[in-house]
Amino acid sequence: MRIGHWIITLIVILFVGWKWEFFLPPDEEKSQSEIRLVFLGADAMRQPLEAKIASFNQGNPNGRIKLEIYPTGSEQKLNLMLATGQAPDIWATGLEKLPTLLANKSISSISNLIFDADLAGLLPVSETLAGKIQGELFAVPFLYNPIGLFINKTMLQECGIATENSRMDRTQFEEALQRIRQKKGANVFGCLVSYYFSNLLPWLWGSGADPFPAGEKFSNLDSPEVVRILTWLNTLIVQDGLLPNPEDVDRFGMPDYMLFKKERAAMFVGRASLSAQLKDADFEWEIIPVPGDQDIRTTNILTTVLVCRKQHEKDRLLGQSLKFLISPQFQDFFANFGVVVPAERNVIVDKYLIPGGYPPLEKRQYLLNLVEDGRLFVPPVHWDEIVDLVINPNLWKLYKSNPQEIEQICKNMAAHADAILRGENVGK
């Protein structure tokens, strides 16, 4: 009998613990006045972000934002939250996820929370890029990351290459590669070309090619412009040997910016956010537009948007929270943190772009130019799948093939990418 009593007591304790909320008065006020905001990012973001959110909370007696940060790459955690009805009120997500979230009714229109006037201060993006679908606003642009050509100015000047203009066309770029080869020999790579397709986009756009027209269910990966620029890159790698094959660069087992920082490469194409990694470089460097044909423009990638799970009882607070998150007051945090270009353009020229007064003013001006003039790339739906299954395997071939084979490789890429865009399974 004693054991029986123990078991009953244990069951009661377990029940009370399990359903503790049942014994508490309902807390409607709390749930209505709290916005759950989820970010995926480095843990180092936590403290400064919490400080920013705290400033919002202090100024808002009617409600507060509760911040949750999960490591970068934990998208599955977010997916599980959505799948189990635990979705946050606001969360940051890749723009390419937007159509899927919309199709699954995981997000709601925020047209009555954010108005065009609120978006006016944002970067000059079109309505579609601002998350507008069929006239309704579903997302707010949050983070951008322009791509440029990082140049080691000190090394280029040593090689007799003029850098005053901070611009190069493709002929000048080829000449620069030849001079670097003559002066520095085979120990220094002229420029690094990676397997990342996003790093190829500026080359493609610089030639007038648009490989993924926004909102379309087909790709232009086999357009004459794409074939032309990829053939040019292939010739520089395979025939002229002026650019290294990415496979040869892989043997260093380190990212492009590290090879650049160690002066093993004079130039590389990369996202502006990598500037933060080069703050303590021992040489003078600059970001310039990736060499194009005539009208030099550089790709700007819209990486992240803010979306909401709308709840009418929280609408007012949701609107306030969103406006706070896209305000310069909040966005300067990102400018300070990683040089990811934030949604608010004025921050780009803010003196706090990178702590310590780096980079110099002209670099910040360049970033501003990138954001204002550069084209904005919006990753299509199924982007991860297209990259993993189509683009990466074909880019591998691309850098090892003869120039005559490029057209066929591009046709294969386009056919497979189109199938994925139509929602078909493609396999290898």
Partner 1 sequence: MSVSSSSKVNYLLIPALIGAIGLYLLPGLASALFSFTDYNLQSLPRFTGLANYRDVITDSLFWHSIKISFFYTAFVVPTSTLLPLFVAVILSQVKNRSFLSIVYLVPMVISPVAQAFIWIWLFNPEYGLLNTMLNALGLPSLLWLYDTQTALISICFMSLWGFGVGTMIYVASMKSIPNNVIRMTELDGASFFKTVTKVIVPHVYPTILFIAALGFIQSMQVFYPGYLMTDGGPQNATLFHMLYLFRNAFIYNKMGYALAMSTIFAVFLMLLSYGSYRFYNKRRGVA
**Contact footprint for partner 1 (CB under 8 A):** 75-76, 79-80, 82-83, 100-101, 103-106, 247, 250-254, 382, 384-385, 388-389, 392-393, 396, 425-428
Give min distance, CB of 307 to partner 1, in A. Answer: 12
Nearer to partner 1, 248 or 372 (CB): 248
Measured CA to CA, the distance from residue 414 to residue 389 in angstroms comes to 12
Give min distance, CB of 7 to partner 1, in A. Answer: 13
Measured CA to CA, the distance from residue 33 to residue 86 in angstroms comes to 17
Q: Which amino acid is at 96?
A: E
Give min distance, CB of 402 to partner 1, in A. Answer: 19
Give min distance, CB of 71 to partner 1, in A. Answer: 12
Indicate left, alpha or beta for 72 from its phi (over 0: left) and psi (-120 to 50: alpha): beta
Instruction: Give the chain's length.
Output: 428
- State both tokens at 108: 């709601």
At residue 274, φ and ψ (nearest 5 deg) are -70, -10
Query: Read out DSSP for 341-403?
Result: EESBGGGGGSTTSSTTT-S-HHHHHHHHHHHHHSEEE-PPTTHHHHIIIIIHHHHHHHTTS-G
Nearer to partner 1, 275 or 303 (CB): 303
Nearer to partner 1, 281 or 419 (CB): 419
Give min distance, CB of 255 to partner 1, in A. Answer: 13
Nearer to partner 1, 31 or 104 (CB): 104
Give min distance, CB of 427 to partner 1, in A. Answer: 4
Nearer to partner 1, 72 or 126 (CB): 72
The candidate with the shortest Cα–Cα distance to 196, out of 255, 276, 266, 133, is: 255
Nearer to partner 1, 18 or 22 (CB): 18
203 forms beta bridges with: none
Nearer to partner 1, 11 or 54 (CB): 11
Nearer to partner 1, 362 or 424 (CB): 424
Measured CA to CA, the distance from residue 179 to residue 69 in angstroms comes to 48
Give min distance, CB of 182 to partner 1, in A. Answer: 25
Nearer to partner 1, 13 or 80 (CB): 80
Q: How deeply is 43 buried, as exposed, middle or buried, from its count of CB atoms within 10 A (0-12, 13-18, 19+)?
A: exposed
SS3 269: strand
Nearer to partner 1, 82 or 281 (CB): 82
Measured CA to CA, the distance from residue 207 to residue 375 in angstroms comes to 13
Give min distance, CB of 296 to partner 1, in A. Answer: 33
Give min distance, CB of 259 to partner 1, in A. Answer: 10
Measured CA to CA, the distance from residue 124 to residue 119 in angstroms comes to 9
- State both tokens at 264: 């093993």
Nearer to partner 1, 248 or 313 (CB): 248
Q: Which amino acid is at 408?
A: Q
H-helix or E-strand spanning residue 14: helix 2-18
Give min distance, CB of 25 to partner 1, in A. Answer: 33
Asked if 208 and 397 touch (Cβ cutoff 8 Å), the reply is no
Measured CA to CA, the distance from residue 153 to residue 98 in angstroms comes to 40
Instruction: Please list the alpha-helical segments (H only) found in 62-207.
Output: 75-83, 98-103, 116-119, 153-158, 170-184, 197-206
Give min distance, CB of 195 to partner 1, in A. Answer: 9
The candidate with the shortest Cα–Cα distance to 296, out of 419, 172, 117, is: 172
189 forms beta bridges with: 265
The candidate with the shortest Cα–Cα distance to 65, out of 30, 27, 36, is: 36
